[in-house]
Amino acid sequence: MTQAKAKSAPGAKDAISILTEDHKKVKKMFMDFKKLMNSEDKKEVEKSLLVKRICEELTVHMQIEEEIFYRAVRAAIDDDDLMDEADVEHAGARDLIAQLDEMEPGDDHYDAKVTVLGENVDHHVKEEQDEMFPKAKKAKLDLTALGAQMLERRHELQAGGGASAGKKNARAA
C-alpha cells in the first residue's frame, strides 16, 4: 500500500479502519440494549441514554460516510447498484432514528424499533465490509487521506456543526 500522500499525518488511520471501528462500537451498543431489554427491571433511563448515544453515533457515521467515503468510492468503483443500495439503507436507518427521537422507552413499539434498527444496521454493515470495502481497497483510493477528512468532519459535526443527532448537541459557539 503506497497511497500515503503529503496530507496524511504519521500514524493516521485509514478510512476503512475508522469505519470498521465505528461498526464494532455500534454493534456493542445494540448488544447492550438487548441486555437491558432482557433485564428484570424496566431500565428506562439506561435505555433512553443508550439509544440517544446509538442514534448520535449512527447519524454522524452515516454522514461522514456519505459526504466523504461513499462519494469517493462511487466515483472510483463501477457499481452504482451497490452504492444506491447503501444510500437507501441509510435512509431507512434515518427514518427509524427520527421516530426514536420522538419516543421514550415504554412507548408502544419502542424496543422493537431499536431491535429492527440494529438488525438493519447489521445487514448494512455486512454489505459494506464484505462488498464495498474490498472494492474500495481494490480501487486504490487514498484511504489515508479519506480517513483524515472523515475524522476532521466528525469533529466538526460533534462540535454541533450540523448533525441533527438530538437536542442535547447544543451549538458550541
- In the complex with Fe ion, which residue's Cβ is closer, 88 or 159? 88
- In the complex with Fe ion, which residue's Cβ is closer, 23 or 47? 23
19, amino acid identity: L
Residue the block writes with cell 469533529: 155
Q: Give CA–CA dist 15/142, Å, rounded.
A: 9
Q: Could you say which residues in the range 16-55 bind Fe ion, by CB under 5 A?
A: 19
Using CA atoms, how far residue 23 sits from 11, 16, 63, 118, 164, in Å, is 21, 10, 14, 11, 20
Residue the block writes with cell 466515483: 75
Q: Give CA–CA dist 60/158, Å, rounded.
A: 8
CB of 26 to Fe ion, least distance (A): 8
Q: Could you say which residues in the range 45-104 bind Fe ion, by CB under 5 A?
A: 65
- Nearest-Å Rg of the Cα atoms of the chain is 17
- In the complex with Fe ion, which residue's Cβ is closer, 105 or 147? 147
CB of 75 to Fe ion, least distance (A): 17
CB of 170 to Fe ion, least distance (A): 26
Contact 92, 120 (CB under 8 A): yes
- In the complex with Fe ion, which residue's Cβ is closer, 36 or 68? 68
Q: Give CA–CA dist 73/64, Å, rounded.
A: 13
- Binding string to Fe ion for residues 117 to 146, with x set by CB under 5 A, is what? -----------x------------------
CB of 100 to Fe ion, least distance (A): 18
Binding site for Fe ion (CB under 5 A): 19, 65, 128
